[in-house]
Amino acid sequence: MTRLSVNINKIATLRNARGGNNPDLVRVALDCERFGAQGITVHPRPDERHIRYQDVLDLHEVVTTEFNIEGNPDERFIDLVKRVKPAQVTLVPDAPDAITSNAGWDTIRHADHLRQLIETFKADGIRVSIFVDADERMVEGAKAVGTDRIELYTEPYAAHYFENREQAVAPFVRAAERAQELGLGLNAGHDLSLDNLQFFAERVPGLLEVSIGHALVCDALYLGLENTIQLYRRCLAY
């Protein structure tokens, strides 16, 4: 069964809007676990506009499910991950001023850089995932640099889901099949929602984990956090 990792960046954004510690990020993470989340994801950025680097240290002390730290591997990020040693680090090539992640790695052009990073993290026993587009060449490049997993960037799927969902999911199926052939683990994330998640999970082979934040938090405003997490879990229990 595909595992659900809840990205709690948006909770940190809400907290930071007013200062103080309401909502309490650590408490929300623990509640997510209690409500059925099988992992917690955070994406610290250099400006700390949502997840702060101290948040990562605080969460590391209490999270008992799989802890996934994702982000652009600048020097500060690398030092943080090596200090925390989470279950998984997901390398994302987002610019410091990006609103959100908007593309995967060119695993061929950046092969040397990625290979060095992967070796660094794996030396500390950290599983490494690379954020990639649904492009078989990029999947092959990811295998060549030694990553354990890839995370498929699913915004293009979500954007075209209601137009033609079979067509939208087709490149992700091909990329997943190639990952399986190469022995790569497969994650996915970005704009997956209650509308499109079950179809994606049913069609994409070998899907181990999805990381969902924005849509899940938005749904929780109407449906409640516990109920929302259970609904997302149900989408994955096909």
Q: Which residues are catalytic?
A: 43, 70, 190
Per-residue DSSP letter, 70: E
Distance from C-alpha of 224 to C-alpha of 233, rounded to nearest angstrom: 14
Identity at 114, one-letter amino acid code: L
**Do 203 and 211 meet the contact criterion of CB atoms below 8 Å apart?**
no
Give dist(CA 29, CA 203) in Å, integer. 30
Contacts of 232 by beta carbon, 8 Å cutoff, 6+ apart: 4, 194, 197, 212, 216
Structure tokens at 232: 């997302």
Phi, psi of 83, deg, nearest 5: -75, -45
What is the rounded CA–CA span in Å between residue 46 and residue 154? 24
Neighbours of 90 (CB within 10 A): 27
- Please state, in angstroms and rounded to a whole number, the distance separating the CA atoms of residues 238 and 202: 7
What span, in angstroms and rounded, lies between the C-alpha atoms of 165 and 159?
A: 10
Give dist(CA 55, CA 4) in Å, integer.
Answer: 21
- Residues 114/130, Cβ–Cβ less than 8 Å: yes
